[in-house]
Amino acid sequence: MMLFVALASALVALAQVDAVNVATSYSVVHHDQLAAQPRLLQKSSHIYAPTAHVVSTGHSFGHSEAPHYAPLVSKTRYTVPFLSALTQAQPQCPAPPTCIKSRYRTLDGSCNNLQNPVWGTPNRRYGRLLTPKYGDGISLPTVSVTGQELPNARVVSLVAFGEQDIPDPEYTLGNMQWGQIMTHDMSMQAGGTQSKKHPTRCCTDEGKLIGKERAPSACYPILVPEHDPAHSQTNTECINFVRTLTDREDQCTPTHPTQPAEQLTTVTSYLDLSLVYGNSDQQNAGIRAFTGGRMAVVERDGYEWPPNNPNATTECELESRDEVCYLAGDSRVNQNPGLTIMQIILLREHNRIADQLQKYNPHWDDELLFQEARRINIAQYQHINYYEWLPIFLGWENMSKNRLIYRVKGGEYINDYDPSQDPSVLNSHATAAFRYFHSQIEGRLDLVSEIRKPTGSLRLSDWFNRPSIIEAGDNYDFLTRGLATQPEELTDTNFDAEIKHFLFRRGRPFGGDLRAIDIQRNRDHGLAGYNDYREFCGFKRASTWEDLMDLISPQDVSKLQSLYPSIDDIDLTVGGSLEAHVNGALAGPTFLCILTEQFYRTRVADRFFYERGDKDIAFTREQLAEIRKASVARLFCDNGNHVTSMQPKAFLRISQKNQVVPCQQLPEVDLSLWKDLSYDNSLHSNFHYYHNYKK
């Protein structure tokens, strides 16, 4: 769906269109600097030489050392006083948790780190590698170093990024979709959602800009340029955009009057399948069956589906009362069919494991079955993340050099837990580096038969927040096979028109622009610029536009020069997305630096990481060897309705080296090794953390 390319040159002239600058009189809070130092990217033939220097000094900028950005308060056309009701209420803040030794994770991530029990819990700050670059030094969205507004996010999206449809020659759409599972598991920005209609309206339903006297203080809408190739057809003036809540709106977070605001994430930071199990005891109680260790499901036509959402009319875009809307551990479960299918697969996998454990251990009660099934499900998921999925993106050699993965045999343990490492998700990771992979999204979803023949396709924008299509006919299996057969879009500078012009269109002719939203979110979060991050990651700081050509093509540098007043204005999410990939990886060196740092921390900061040999929480060596047989192919096979065959490496396209085989030929985790463990029902109550949160 190549659209509107001819108008790109005209849009360059509009690049300096004033963006809306929402000036708010927030109170200021202190952002805790991460205690841990950045991870080295070590020398490798698979990494550009300068990247190997990435944090060779082991140094992270402190507030006093970071590049100084003078407050830049530009003239604003859109000034709204800060009157958030959140600051008026008197919250009941949770007390610090009291940790008790346990074999199992808490649902809210507390007590994972026994020295810092709240690390990694929901409603905590994102981490930072570099000091924020807010427009006023405190909280306003980023502006140019010249004091001007940055180029309009929609214009940058249209000029710097194309829409060519280039199928990836190696990787399947399931590769992209698993990435969304991981990012939803690790992060969800507080207060802002683009996946369903936001209660805070900055634009009318017809796309008209709401006057400043009526707009809420959190508004930061994306203005549509006059000659927009899509939205000018409908006289749309803006795309709704609501700023992420920060620690300054959270009265339970310690504050300091002079330090920059930090955004909050509302889910646990660990790779713990919180999107399946929820992020609190209360949330989990609403989606558990409390029998046989199982998660709650509803059965239709002999198959298990997630429970019905009691808030279906607000959580889904339903066209009739007969359409389903699912309830899960994450509110985004209904966002798109591929995501929903992955969540159903992981839900069914928990229940499959629980059923098997009950057969082997009929004396176990519900709680013990639930906790052990959850533990196994998370371990399989972590193994797939680190040994099947991440090597595609970060490169096996890079991950091995930087100790994210290890060449092990059988049930060898890896004891690399580091309690000094903060597991917080880096803002630069969640807001920029990981979002680069939006370029892999395909605008159509193929329906594929068991003989791997496409029988039709779904238009993505027709089914945002409408999961009922999954249960229609054999669509669940056909879409599952599609994830393992259809190629994802090439990881490049092109973004499918379905997410660039039709995102969450809700029956309208056009919708949002995910690339523009990424750029606007970058500024909302005050991320330091691309030039700052390339310097942080070991490259020479660019002082001329030509200096950028060591990593970015001359054509793309020319586009950047036409858009930005200064090299130092280039948004991280833009500059990083234009870099040439490091050999063996799917990212350029700056994003690779950030991604490697993040997933190192995510691993070593998790006391319950599945490869650890701590006698109080470890799998036996025999069990660990079985966990290492887990694969996404086996998940597809075990949790489909009638999926009977799959290629062994389902993130890779079918080929001579990766042929489709009967499911029974794929390696399987032998759950009989969990029979007759050395504890019984009388002991299992000791396998929990008790804390004095008011749940």
Q: Which residues make up each annotated binding site for heme b?
A: 438
Any catalytic annotation for residue 684?
no
451 CB-near residues (< 8 Å, 6+ apart): none
Distance, in Å, from the CA atom of 292 to the CA atom of 354, rounded to the nearest integer, reads 7
String of b and e for 197-213 (b: at least 16 CB within 10 Å)?
eeebbbbeeebebbeee
Nearest to 187 by CA among 134, 127, 130: 127
**3-state SS, residue 390:** helix
Residue 670 C-beta-side C-alpha neighbours within 13 Å: 8
Which residues sit in the known binding site? 438
Per-residue DSSP letter, 389: I
- Cα atoms in the 13 Å half-sphere on the side-chain side of 506: 16
Q: Which member of 31, 184, 383, 525 is catalytic?
A: 184
> What distance in Å separates the CA atoms of residue 166 and residue 169, rounded to the nearest whole number?
9
Distance CA 517, CA 528 (A): 17
CA torsion 43→47→51→54, rounded to 10°?
-60
Could you give the CA distance from residue 589 to residue 32 in angstroms, rounded to a whole number?
Answer: 27
- Specify which residues 172 forms β-bridges with: 487
Inter-residue long-range contacts of 235-238, CB under 8 Å, 24+ positions, other chains counted: 235/207, 236/206, 236/207, 236/208, 236/510, 237/203, 237/207, 237/208, 237/209, 238/20, 238/202, 238/203, 238/207, 238/208, 238/209
- Stated as kind and residue range, the H or E segment containing 242 is none
Phi, psi angle pair for 127, to nearest 5°: -90, 165
Tell me which residues are annotated as active site. 184
